Amino acid sequence: MTSADPIFEVKDVTLRFGGVTSLNNVSLNQERGEILSVIGPNGAGKTSLFNCLTGVYLPQEGSITFHPTQTKAIKIVGRAPHRVAQAGVARTFQTSRMFNALTTFENVKIGVEAHQKTGPIGAMLKLPRTRHEEKFSDQRSHELLEYVNLTHRTNTLASSLPYGDRRRLEIARALGTDPKVLLLDEPAAGTNPSEKLALAELISRINTELGISILLIEHDMKLVMSLAQRLIVLNFGGVIAEGTPQEIQENPLVIEAYLGASDEATQ
């Protein structure tokens, strides 16, 4: 597939942990504005791929290029995770990682503030810029909570949120950083069917209204097929198939991978 305007270019990435090869020669491209989904059986290396894309893991081989704009190119490999995030890559985690002792609002606000300039001196003296930024981040956080439909939970502690709300809070917090691309790691895990529906709607809104590209890991096939424009299937760390939802559903390799995986699981 030729990519005119890619946002992520992953070339021949190999990631090993001792004897385990989590990613084996993985190459993929994501178009700007696209919802690309990564699927695969448990342990296929999906989360590892996310960790490479966000700078958390350092792959032994290969290169990852991120294009925040058409003209800019950033090498991800070797870049610290926070600098990758600053460049415009936001993510959520497979097991949600909230700041539990803080409120929903504070969680989102931290995301917004992460990119502001206020330093300790400004914060201590409440300098004009600090106050200005604080006003902005308050307003923006409220907007984001409204966007993900969590306004009624503004002052709830993150630890006492129900599971579905946590997922959406994590998305709101990631959106606070004003990302170019959003990486979602199994956002629908542990949510009930109606929450799933709302989540699918939220994801496609983020994509169309905010113009944010989305890379999605999800096990729920119905959700993936309805949302994603393109799919990439991983198995044992390698890409085994790539294509539209239609093509993937008919791909014999994919069917086998999933059947094989469930065979293993039942053993």
Partner 1 sequence: MSTESTVPKRRYWALNGEDARRMCTAIVGGLVLAIMTGPEGAISDPTYGVKTSLLTGHVVGYFIFGVVLGCLLTYRAKVKDGTWRRVRTARRRTMSERVTAFSSIWRYAFLAVTTFLVALISLIFADFSGPVTRNKMSVHVLEHQFLYTRTYGYLVLAVALWFVVVNQVMQLSSFKLRSLPRPVLGLSAIIAILLFSLTSDPFLPARFSWRALDPHASNSLFHHWTTYLWLILGLAVTISWLFRRDPIDGAKPARRSRALAVTPEMRIITYVAAGFIVFEAPKYLSLYWQISLYQQIGVFCLLAIGLNIVVGFAGLLDLGYVAFYALGAYVTAYFSGALPLHPPFQLNPFFIIPFAIIIAMLSGVLLGLPTLRLRGDYLAIVTLGFGEIVYVLANDWTQVTYGSAGTGAITNFNVHLLGINYVWNPVNPLSYYYLMIGILIPAIFLFDFLNHSKVGRTWAAIREDEVAAQSLGINALKYKVMAFAMGASTAGVAGVFTAVKVGHLFPNTFVLQLSITILVLVIFGGMGSIVGVLFGAIVLQWLPSYLNFHSYFGYQQADLYLYIGALLVVMMIFRPQGLVPSRRRRREILDAEEGLGSADALGAITQEQPS
Ligand X SMILES: Nc1ncnc2c1ncn2[C@@H]1O[C@H](COP(=O)(O)OP(=O)(O)OP(=O)(O)O)[C@@H](O)[C@H]1O
Which residues of the chain form contacts with ligand X (CB under 6 A)? 17, 20, 22, 40, 42-48, 94
Q: Which is nearer to partner 1, 11 or 98 (CB)?
A: 98
Q: Which residues bind Mg ion (CB under 5 A)?
A: 47, 94
* CB nearer partner 1, residue 56 or residue 197: 56
Q: How many CA atoms lie within 13 A of 17 on its CB side?
A: 8
What is the closest distance, in whole angstroms, from the C-beta atom of residue 245 to partner 1 in the complex? 17
Nearer to ligand X, 43 or 122 (CB): 43
Q: 2 or 155: whose CB is closer to partner 1? A: 155
Which of ligand X, Mg ion, partner 1, none does residue 106 bind to, with CB < 5 to 8 Å depending on kind? partner 1
Q: What is the maximum alpha-carbon separation in the chain?
A: 64
Nearest-approach distance from CB 49 to ligand X, in angstroms: 7
Helix (H, G, I), strand (E, B) or coil at 151: helix
Q: Are 176 and 187 in contact (CB under 8 A)?
A: no
- If DSSP codes are grouped into helix, strand and coil, which group holds residue 177? coil
Say which entry of ligand X, Mg ion, partner 1, none residue 39 contacts (CB below 5 to 8 A, set by partner kind). Answer: none
Shortest separation between residue 2's beta carbon and partner 1, angstroms: 31
Token reading at 167: 């997922």
Comparing CB distances to partner 1, the nearer of 5 and 210 is 210
Which residues, in sequence order, are bridge partners of residue 65?
9, 75
Confirm if 176 and 112 have CB atoms less than 8 A apart: yes
Q: The tokens of 208 are what?
A: 């169309």
Residues that bind partner 1 (CB under 8 A): 42, 54, 56, 80-83, 85-86, 90-91, 93, 95, 97-102, 106, 109-111, 113-116, 118-120, 123-126, 130, 133-134, 137, 157, 159, 163, 166, 173-174, 176-177, 189-191, 219-220, 261-262, 265
- Inter-CA distances, 5 with 8, 73, 81, Å: 9, 11, 24
Query: CB-wise, 99 or 258, nearer to ligand X?
Result: 258
Distance CA 52, CA 22 (A): 11
Nearest residue to Mg ion, scored by beta-carbon proximity = 47
Helices 128-147 and 104-113, axial angle in degrees (round to 10):
120
